[in-house]
Every structure is written in C-alpha cells, then in structure tokens.
Structure 1
Amino acid sequence: MSNLALASLDDIDPVVADLSTLQSLRPVPRVSIQAFCETEAVANPLQRASEDRRMNKTHVKIHMGGIPTAIEFYSSAPTPNLIVLESRATPGELVSQLGQLAEFCDPTSKVVVIGHHNDVGLYRELIRSGVSEYMVAPISMADIVGVISAIFVDPEADPIGRSVAFIGAKGGVGSSTIAHNIAWSMSTLFTSEVMVADMDLAFGTANINFDQDPAQGIAEAVFAPERVDEVYLDRLLAQCAERLSLLAAPSTLDRTYDFDGDAFKGIIETAQRSAPLLVLDVPHAWTSWTRATLSSADEVVITATPELANLRNTKNLVDMLRKLRPNDKPPHLVLNQVGMPKRPEIATADFVEPLGLEVLAVIPFEPQLFGNAANNGRMLGEMDAKSPIVGTMSHMAHVLTGRAEVKARKGAGISKLINRLKLAKK
C-alpha cells in the first residue's frame, strides 16, 4: 500500500464526541472527498457532515458500495484528496482489498477506513500501511468532521478568530447598541483584541456610537475584494479603544448596496485571521449575504422586544437558523427594552416558550442611560460602570466567548422593572 499517503494521527484524538467540541474545529479547506459506504448507518452521518458549515468549502460525493466498488471506480477515474471507505470485511480481507485499491491511488490521496472490527492490531497495521485513520462503526457526524479537520487543518496555523453575529428581530430593537457594548466589554474584560464590522452600509451607527469619523471603512473592502488582505484591512480600521477596532459603514445613500451571497466572505475570513474576536453587526434584512453571514458565524445573537411581531420574526429566524446550522447551538436571545411604561408586553416566559430557547439576557427599558451614551458617543460602561445593565453586558460577553454558561437571569434592575409594570397597569 505504498501508494496511500502516510498521515498517521497517533497524536490526535479523532473522535469528536459532542457538539461543543465540534464548534471548536476550524473550517476544512477546499478539498475533494469521496466516500464508499456499505450501510446507511455510515452514509447518513457522512451526508450530515458534508452539510456542516465547517465543510462548506469541501466537495463531497457519497457512493453506496464498499472497497470493491471503489476499486472499480478508480480503475478509470482519478482519486480525490480524501477517500472514505466503509468495510464489513474481516481484518485479513480488509488489508487485502486495500492493497488492491492502492494500485489505483494517487500518492497524495489520503484514506480513512471505517470498519466494524474493534481490533488494535488491525488499526496499527493500517496506520503502518499508510491509512490516515481507522474508525470503528457506529460513527457520528461529529466523528467524521473531527477526523477530516485533523487531517487537513494545520495545527500550527495561526488561530482563526471567533465570530459573533448580532441581528435584530425588527428594526429599532437595539441590536447594534448591544453588539457595540458587548464588543467593548470583551475588549476591556479579557484584554483581547476585538474587531467590530458594521455591515449596515447605508444606515450603520457604529461610527456614531464609538464617536468615530473614519475616511474609509468596510465599503472600500467589499467593493474591492481583490485587494483584501490583513495589511489592507488594517488600513481601513478605526481605533476605538486600546484593544477595540472598527470597520465602519459609510452610512451614506450616494450608492446602493446590493451584494451577492459571498460578498463579505473574504472580509470576514481576513478579519478572523487578524483578531481573536470579531463582532458582526448585521442589519435587519434578509438577503443572500445576511443569510450567509448568519449561517457561518460561530455564535448568533437575536435581539427582540417583547411584542408579537418581534416574536413572529424571532421564531422565523430561529427556525431558519436551525435549518442552516443543524450541527450548531441554537442562537442566543436577548430581550431588550423590557418594561416600557404603558406598552403592553408579552411575558418573558411566554415569549421564549414557542422558541424552545433560554433567554440570554433581559434588559430593562432605561432611556436615560442608553440615550446619554448614544448622544455622547460612549459605551454604557463608560457612562455608568456600576449599572446593573453593564453587569448584564459583562455576563453576555463571558457567555459568547465561552468563558461562562448561560444561566437563568432575571435581568438587570428587575425590581425596578416589576414596579414599572405595576404602575403601567394602573
């Protein structure tokens, strides 16, 4: 089997047992993968893996039939970057069949074998022979993505930053304000570089909220994608704080902003190589590029106010994101402007019940704090560091960076909120 590429993974655990581990994996580069399966129990998780967002760049083709089918297929066709083979054969038969297949394999092609015999001796024999990995059925989708990632993603490569996308269930619910304040909290709490990308090119408010007036910003990058690299992106950034930088939107209407689905893809990937934390301020719209941005982000945060139209829109977003991101955690939900005087509201428990979500945070209606911060181009933590709402922003920053778990929170200033609700009923 000298024709099979040597790529032993003895020092890497190939089994990814849960989705939390799956989320830590880097995207697989643009490679071709062909699988030959004998059972639906293996073909189905392979199909699910091919649809995972970390495998977006790969081209996967699944055939039914094991190693004999692969031998027949590759006798007249070139081999791809990776061949995945399922075999129920005995260890001796398996080694013999792989020897026949090796005659048709390109030296650069890698091979993963999924067998039905938990045999240490067989595993060692296959690894010595040049098989990249031997897995024992049954397998999960996460197992497959983990193994493929381990084979093709360079562990010595620069880390890819974590992306968090914020979108409002309706316009005016405060999604951008929350995104900007959480980005500021991340930069101050964790001494980590944070980049904010204001993707609302026509009406973005990040430049106002951060009191910036940059001559260039994200528009220059999206209209000249061929120029985008780390150096060019760095020239477009406005420095908002010691560890916080901004790709500002032009916020002008002198041209239209109609883009295709991949328009921001290169910008986001370049930004993730430049900063460990990337906050995406996504406008309330449903286009091919907003859909693509939300489907590929590491975390998604939906901000809503406790009203019926917000509930309907949130439900639609949650349902769609579950289809687009079947192997990821559901989006986070923030209820904002809760307790507005004289406004009829849906109770938090009633709001989240049809969504099947836990609320990440409940933020009370505090027009003076938010208004003063907005009018002065300051963050909430700069205006009143002791405010309970600032504590809520800190909690959300911890959760979204994986430093804390979601826990039941009554929300900042809940006693004040209850009193307001009582007064509103009078």
Structure 2
Amino acid sequence: MSAIDYDIDTGANGGRMADEPTATGDLDSLRPLPRISVHAFCISDAVRRVMEQCSQDRRMARASLRITSGNIAAAASMFASTPTPNLIILETEAVAGNLMAELAPLAEVCDPATRVIIIGRHNDITLYRELMRNGISEYIVAPLAMADIMTAISAIFVDPEAEPLGRSIAFIGAKGGVGSSTIAHNCAFGISSLFSTETILADLDLPFGTANIDFDQDPAQGMAEAVFSPERLDEVFLDRLLTTCSQHLSLLAAPSLLDRAYDYDRDAFQPVLELLQRSAPATVLDLPHAWSDWTRTVLGEVDEIIITCAPDLANLRNAKNMLDALKKIRPNDKAPHLILNQVGMPKRPEISPQDFFEPLEIEPAAIIPFDAALFGNAANSGRMISEIDAKSPTSETFSQIAHLVTGRATIKKPRKGGLGKMLGLLGKK
C-alpha cells in the first residue's frame, strides 16, 4: 500500500515499554532519520527536555521537529485546521479508561499517513495492546531517555521492513509541449508549502529538463550523477545531489546538457526512486513525453499518475492509448488522473472538455485555462504560480491537484486509515 493509505503498525522494537531511561549508547546503531515532520506535545518539563535533546541530535538533521506545551486536546484543536505531520508524539497522564476517549477527537482530524507515539505513565500491557489495535505506532512509559524516542521513531521510519515512507507521484504529458512539467513543478511546490511536507521534485528528463529553470537554480550535480552512479547511492550521497528550492522542497535536477546520449536500461531509475521513497514523504517525478522500457517501468510502480493533455485530437488519441496501456501495466490500480491544460487558446480550434473526456470515460482532475501572461511571467522569473498570484483561479486549481494526489481533503473529516480507524473501533463498543 502507499504511504497515504496504510494503517499504523507496531514498531519493530515490539512495543517495549521503558520503566527507566535507556542508555544513550543504544543510539550508536541508529541511522539518520529521513525528511519527516514531527510534532511533539509535552505536558511535563522532563519529556520536553528529552524532546529538545532529540532536536539537537545529528540523526534528526533532515527531520523537522516542533515541540509544543500541551496535551492531546491541544493537538486535536491545532490539527482541526492544519494538516497533521508525519509523526505526532503525545504525552498523557490519562488512565486506560480515559485515554481512548481523549484520542477520539484527534482521530477525527488525523491524516491517514500520520503515525502516533504516546508517552504515558502506566505500565499496562492491556492498555498497550488496545492502543496497538487502534492504530497507535508505539506506547512508551515515562520516565524515558532520548534513546527511547529515537529508537521508536527509527523503528517506524527507518526499519528496512517498515512500509515505505514516501508517496511517488508521476507527471507525464500525452504529447510534448502540453505543460506537464509546469504542472508537476507547481504541484510539488504546492504539496511542500500547503502541507509543510518535505517534498523532492525529481526531473527525469535529463537532456531537456526545466525544473532548474523554473525554480531559478543552477546545481552542479543532480539526477545524472544519481542514475549513472548507482553504486554510490545512499542517503549521504543523495543529500549532496539535492538542491533546496524552498523550506520544504528539494530538487533533484536534470543536467540539461547534450554532452552524452541519454540511453537507459529498463531499471535504470529504480535505485534512485527507491531511495527517494525512503527519504521523503512525497516525491514528484517529472517524466518526459516518451514511451520506453524505463518510462513504462517507472509508471508501473508509482503511487499516482497524472497525464496532462491539450484539447486537440492528437492528445485525445494519445491519452486513450496511454490509459489502455497503463490499465494493462497496472490492472489492480485506479486509473490515472487527467488534466486538460491550455484550454481557450486564442484562434486555436479545440475539442471541448466534454467532448474530450466522454470517449475516455473518465472525469477530469482539473481543467486549466490558457493564460500566457501568468504562466509566462512565472517561467521567466523562476517562480511558481502561487508566488506570482496566490489568489488566481489557476493557483487554487494547483492547490486542489495537490490535495488530490496526496490523498488529503481540503475539509477535515474522519479518516479510515491510521489513527482515524480508531473512530470505527470506538463506535463498536
């Protein structure tokens, strides 16, 4: 299952409950954490100090940790209006009979991918099993040490047998020049900024990629080094190749040079994509308009596919062929999302949206009007649409696409995955 859909599982440490602090030497075997967002709610000074220790540890260098003085109710109140992070750490003094009721309001607003660690006061195996059954990732008994927290987080996000952290989202055009890359870049920016989610934009069009231009970047290294040096790939090497575009967005740029032929084996990009999926909650893949072994392989393994079309006959034919081919490659997955772009271009004969999507038997994910001034100004200044005009209808469309491809809803509602499944279990009692 994708990182958005799977339920919260027990950590690899078997839910060890700490009666006394663990030696800090236990940290020696832990690997650095990926680019996750963590929000800790503390009610005691002791736990707050432990969380502050964690924030200063080198293994948290890529993670984003926020510490708030507050209880479970404070967390539920905060996340009623803001997206939940990858991990919530909650300190509570509640006894077994009250803890489940305290967690219910948080379950209503918790995103499916969010994991939860609870720090409690009661060494109660029955309570522990109840929490695990209801979707909590780990329960730790205070007093605790930094090693307890770091081990628990590592068990969730670093363990090789754990579910992949990241959600991979591939954008491809039904035809060249339809704006697929522009949409991919704006959606990556939207995911990172709207949800404060660490996002990696990977430009897979090595000879002609434009992500570096669109973000006004000129990195010396990027995707080419990752693809052509698979033996060097690890978290440290990836960090050297990534370029920071904004607070939560990193770019793995294409070289955009023609100093070599860019021919790839079928699985050439797989080591890179697997590493990206372990490194960040969201990876946006900007694919070139091509149909080869390696593009088919990538499209066959990502979590979401977005096909961008322009309203003409060639795009309609290509979109139909791509949908049919992908249905064979991905027989058990939902159909790709389709975006109709550049609608209403002056003096150009067009197929109406209704006539375009009727033979495809699919509803459009978005219809984006042609706006030469808005897109041209953004491209020439190296900025995204929301930075040029945050109140424009096009900016709102990109926001909706970001919500769609990440599985998030614009309005908070009870979730069926993760902590949200607790509501269903509580209702059966």
Scaled by the length of structure 2, the TM-score of the pair is: 0.59
Q: Which residue number in structure 1 is paired with residue 370 of structure 2?
A: 365
The answer to whether the Cα contact below 8 Å between 2:306 and 2:336 also exists between their aligned partners in 1 is yes
Paired residue type of 1:185: G
Q: Which residue number in structure 1 is paired with residue 381 of structure 2?
A: 376
Q: Quote the Cα distance in structure 1 between the aligned partners of 2:161 and 2:362.
A: 37
Q: Which residue number in structure 2 is paired with residue 327 of structure 1?
A: 332
Q: Quote the Cα distance in structure 2 between the aligned partners of 1:350 and 1:329.
A: 22
Offset, 1:365: 0.3
Paired residue type of 1:271: L
SS, match of residue 344 in structure 1: coil
Paired residue type of 1:314: A
The answer to whether the Cα contact below 8 Å between 1:158 and 1:273 also exists between their aligned partners in 2 is no
Q: Quote the Cα distance in structure 1 between the aligned partners of 2:233 and 2:160.
A: 24
Paired residue type of 1:265: Q
Paired residue type of 1:378: R
In structure 2, relative to structure 1, the CA distance for the partners of 1:232 and 1:170 (3 Å cut) is same
Offset, 1:286: 0.9
Q: Quote the Cα distance in structure 1 between the aligned partners of 2:257 and 2:175.
A: 21
Q: Which residue number in structure 1 is paired with residue 343 of structure 2?
A: 338
Paired residue type of 2:307: I
Q: Which residue number in structure 2 is paired with residue 385 of structure 1?
A: 390
Paired residue type of 2:385: L
Q: Quote the Cα distance in structure 2 between the aligned partners of 1:21 and 1:201.
A: 27
1:258 to 239, 247, 263: 263
Please give the per-residue CA displacement for 1:99-145, whole angstroms capped at 9, x wherever unaligned.
xxxxxxxxxxxxxxxxxxxxxxxxxxxxxxxxxxxxxxxxxxxxxxx
Offset, 1:231: 1.2
Offset, 1:246: 0.3
1:183 to 181, 184, 188: 188
In structure 2, relative to structure 1, the CA distance for the partners of 1:213 and 1:255 (3 Å cut) is same
Offset, 1:230: 1.3
Paired residue type of 1:351: F
Q: Which runs of 5+ in 2 are unaligned?
A: 9-157, 411-429
Q: Which residue number in structure 1 is paired with residue 360 of structure 2?
A: 355
The answer to whether the Cα contact below 8 Å between 1:336 and 1:363 also exists between their aligned partners in 2 is yes
2:211 to 206, 209, 223: 206
Offset, 1:22: 11
Please give the per-residue CA displacement for 1:287-307, whole angstroms capped at 9, x wherever unaligned.
111110111110000000000
1:237 to 227, 242, 246: 242
Q: Quote the Cα distance in structure 2 between the aligned partners of 1:349 and 1:266.
A: 41
In structure 2, relative to structure 1, the CA distance for the partners of 1:191 and 1:21 (3 Å cut) is closer
The answer to whether the Cα contact below 8 Å between 1:162 and 1:298 also exists between their aligned partners in 2 is yes
Q: Which runs of 5+ in 1 are unaligned?
A: 1-18, 27-152, 406-426
The answer to whether the Cα contact below 8 Å between 1:173 and 1:305 also exists between their aligned partners in 2 is yes
SS, match of residue 320 in structure 2: helix
Please show how residues 17-416 of structure 1 align to structure 2 within 5 Å: 24=6, 157=162, 159-404=164-409
Q: Quote the Cα distance in structure 1 between the aligned partners of 2:190 and 2:369.
A: 19
RMSD of aligned Cα (Å): 2.1
Offset, 1:24: 4.0
Offset, 1:21: 11
Please give the per-residue CA displacement for 1:144-201, whole angstroms capped at 9, x wherever unaligned.
xxxxxxxxx9797364200000000111000000000000000010010000000000
The answer to whether the Cα contact below 8 Å between 1:187 and 1:193 also exists between their aligned partners in 2 is yes
Q: Which structure has the higher relative contact order (CA within 8 Å, separation 6+)?
A: 2
Q: Quote the Cα distance in structure 1 between the aligned partners of 2:376 and 2:3.
A: 41
The answer to whether the Cα contact below 8 Å between 2:222 and 2:253 also exists between their aligned partners in 1 is yes
Paired residue type of 1:342: K
Q: Quote the Cα distance in structure 1 between the aligned partners of 2:269 and 2:160.
A: 26
The answer to whether the Cα contact below 8 Å between 1:369 and 1:380 also exists between their aligned partners in 2 is yes
Paired residue type of 1:316: N
In structure 2, relative to structure 1, the CA distance for the partners of 1:285 and 1:20 (3 Å cut) is closer
The answer to whether the Cα contact below 8 Å between 1:239 and 1:246 also exists between their aligned partners in 2 is yes
Scaled by the length of structure 1, the TM-score of the pair is: 0.59
In structure 2, relative to structure 1, the CA distance for the partners of 1:179 and 1:21 (3 Å cut) is closer
**Superposition misfits of 4+ residues, deviation over 3 angstroms:** 19-26, 153-156
The answer to whether the Cα contact below 8 Å between 2:3 and 2:167 also exists between their aligned partners in 1 is no
SS, match of residue 335 in structure 2: coil
Q: Quote the Cα distance in structure 2 between the aligned partners of 1:155 and 1:221.
A: 21
Paired residue type of 1:188: S
The size of the alignment, in residue pairs, is: 261
Q: Quote the Cα distance in structure 1 between the aligned partners of 2:191 and 2:275.
A: 20
SS, match of residue 359 in structure 2: helix
SS, match of residue 359 in structure 1: coil
Query: Larger Cα Rg: Structure 1 or Structure 2?
Result: 1
Offset, 1:212: 0.3
The answer to whether the Cα contact below 8 Å between 2:4 and 2:167 also exists between their aligned partners in 1 is no
SS, match of residue 355 in structure 1: coil
Q: Quote the Cα distance in structure 1 between the aligned partners of 2:160 and 2:323.
A: 33
Offset, 1:347: 1.1
In structure 2, relative to structure 1, the CA distance for the partners of 1:155 and 1:198 (3 Å cut) is closer
State the percentage of identical aligned residues: 66
Paired residue type of 1:206: A
Q: Quote the Cα distance in structure 2 between the aligned partners of 1:337 and 1:255.
A: 33
Q: Quote the Cα distance in structure 1 between the aligned partners of 2:2 and 2:169.
A: 16
